[in-house]
Amino acid sequence: MPKILIIGAGGQIGSELTLKLRDVHGPERVVAADINDKNTDLVNSGIFEIVDAQDYESILNCVKKHDIDTIYLMAAMLSATGEKFPVKAWDLNMDSLFHVLNLAKDNIIKHIFWPSSIAVFGPTTPSKRTPQHTIMEPTTVYGITKQVGERWCEYYHNKYGVDVRSLRYPGIISWKTMPGGGTTDYAVEIYHKAILDKRYASFLSKDTELPMMFMEDAIRATLDIMEAPAETIKIRSSYNLSAISFTPSEISEAIKKHISDFDMSYAPDFRQAIADSWPSSIDDSSARTDWNWAHHFDLEKMTAEMITRLREKYKHSEINS
């Protein structure tokens, strides 16, 4: 029976996506792959392979070994890290995509999921309710690779019939995994610091509004678009995806409803300029119309879940330390 391969399974989204796919399809049908085997949850819960996303032969050998027909390409260097290593970010993000697209073009695999990002937008993009089709002039290497990647995905679909599907993820917030070098990472770090220290210094200014999403919604959107009938997927570059937008001051106020003495301060750094180039809210009506996307978590519901889960997590760590 054909299997699913997640490349970059050890990342923030990849790790939770892998476990969800194993729940849905069974651990024997979902192969987790990464450049290292440090994530013991992935290694111990199903099939795991060491795969270099930049090495075509490494991917091909894994695909043939496990009879893979669907690849989720989650390996990438994110925005803040990419600005420190621009050439490495370009090479990783583009080489890995071409390898997977070419596997589908050659009929070695059948289906691809590739994540894009709100980083494709830039300072010239309409910032409020950013449309699906609009100006895209990204100012980061990460955004450039995602914009170019979208064009190649659409090209491979139109030219070769490749079934590639994509979402422009907003900032993703999770209690299970730590952030991986993105500009929206403050919205994950803040909850951990609220529990541990009751204070947090934001690297973005208090009024910087950005589109965000709880991980559970992001994973569900990913599964939904991949399970949707092909005729309903009308956009083969990447779909806008949205749930909630908020500022650091707004998330701070939401946390104070649970931790009254939480203290927030602000120390904007180089990530502020990146955030300023991105939209404050996203129009994802195409996704909602084409394949019935709908989010479940707002800021209040997400904050309650994050604090409850992290309190349990840190209490468990104390008991076992």
Tokens of 66: 């496990």
60/58 Cα distance (integer angstroms): 6
**C-alpha pair distances (Å), 151 with each of 51, 136, 240:** 26, 12, 15
Residues in the chain: 321
Element (H, E) at 214: strand 210-214
- Establish whether 156 is a catalytic residue: no
Element (H, E) at 190: helix 186-196
Catalytic site residue from 72, 142, 186, 200: 142
Structure letter (DSSP) for residue 130: B
Say how many CA atoms lie within 13 Å of 194 toward its Cβ: 29
Tokens of 297: 């978590």
Q: DSSP per residue over 69-111, as a string?
A: EEEEE-----HHHHHHSHHHHHHHHHHHHHHHHHHHHTTS--E
Beta strands in 215-262 (DSSP E): 239-240, 244-246
3-class DSSP state for residue 65?
helix
Tokens of 245: 């937008």
Among the listed residues 72, 94, 200, 195, the one whose alpha carbon sits nearest the alpha carbon of residue 143: 94
CA torsion, ordered 121, 219, 252, 314, to nearest 10 deg = -140
Residue positions annotated with a catalytic role: 142
